Amino acid sequence: MKNELTDFLAYIASEKGLSSNTIEAYRRDITAFMEFIQPLGIASFSEVETSHFLEFLAHFKEKGYASATLCRMVIALKVLFRFLTRESHIPTNSAFYLRTPKLWQLIPEVLTYEEIEQLLKQPDAATPLGARDKAILEILYASGLRVSEVCSLDICSVDDTFVRVLGKGKKERLIPVGEEAIAAIDDYLQHHRSNYDSRRQQALFVNRSGNRIDRIAVWKMIKRYAKLAGITKNISPHTLRHSFATHLLDNGADLRVIQEMLGHANISSTDRYTHVSRSHLQEAFQKFHPRLSTLE
């Protein structure tokens, strides 16, 4: 991929006449994208799918990047992939359908209640990794945490009713956590987490080496269990956060309460879930209203 990037930068410098500042910005954005997809096992631009762009942008949106910066990232990737396609470095342009306006405000993918149940059933809680994975899935859905927040949890971060999270901007918040999630965490701690030196390593969720788990490991884990559950939607750790918020709203929770639990500084970030909920209402109306269901 480095060779293709070098060719692309030479192209935009010589043929497009872009300023040195713009070229450097493109280089940074594309390098950030390459570093993001590399841990996912992607070794070539030809392996990139549209979902990887969306996950990349969602990651930087969660880190608080400005809309203008995200828009520039989209443009850099679109120009790069158009160049790669034209020069026959890749067979198809996977960035073709990216739209720059409000791309990061797309209605998020949401799992149904049935899909959530199937996903949560997949880990084998009798094994150390299965018990850990079940606890991670449970708390992602039960409390709507960001994947980075789950990875940063310490053993002392969770009690019988709340989880204490240090979110964006180092802001601490307390989030209620359900009985199923607590039970899964307790099982993991009592039967499996004790295999590691808790005095040395305070991280709640650890890998095989006893080190704190990272977001890429959680991403891969969720992809694996989704496949086992027969879920065909393109999901990520953030999908469970979206599902958490949408299901709360569907069941009557106040938007301000959801905002607090998600750790959104601005209510507009939470308001997009109302669009998801409305789409569910419309779907149910079309499916079950007696005046419509009888019409063929």
Given 61, 238, 242, 247, which residue is catalytic? Answer: 238
146 catalytic residue (yes or no): yes
Q: How far is residue 133 CA from its own chain's centroid?
A: 16
Given 193, 241, 242, 247, which residue is catalytic? Answer: 241
Given 52, 146, 242, 247, which residue is catalytic? Answer: 146
Closest by Cα among 61, 200, 189, 70 to 131 = 189
78 catalytic residue (yes or no): no
Number of continuous H segments (helices) and E segments (strands) in the chain = 13, 2
Closest by Cα among 148, 152, 188, 144 to 60 = 148
289 catalytic residue (yes or no): no
Roughly how many angstroms between the first and final C-alpha of the chain, as a whole number? Answer: 53
Given 26, 141, 188, 273, which residue is catalytic? Answer: 273
278 catalytic residue (yes or no): no
Map 52-67 to HEC letters: HHHHHHHHHHHCCCCH
241 catalytic residue (yes or no): yes
Q: How far is residue 273 CA from its own chain's centroid?
A: 15
Closest by Cα among 189, 192, 198, 185 to 142 = 185
Q: Is 146 left (phi over 0), alpha (psi -120 to 50) or beta?
A: beta
Element housing 165 (H / E): strand 162-166
Given 82, 212, 264, 275, which residue is catalytic? Answer: 264
Given 168, 173, 272, 275, which residue is catalytic? Answer: 168
How large is the angle between the packed helices 67-86 and 50-62, nearest 10 degrees? Answer: 160
List of residues 6+ apart from 269 with CB closer than 8 A? 259, 262
168 catalytic residue (yes or no): yes
Give catalytic residues, as residue numbers.
146, 168, 238, 241, 264, 273
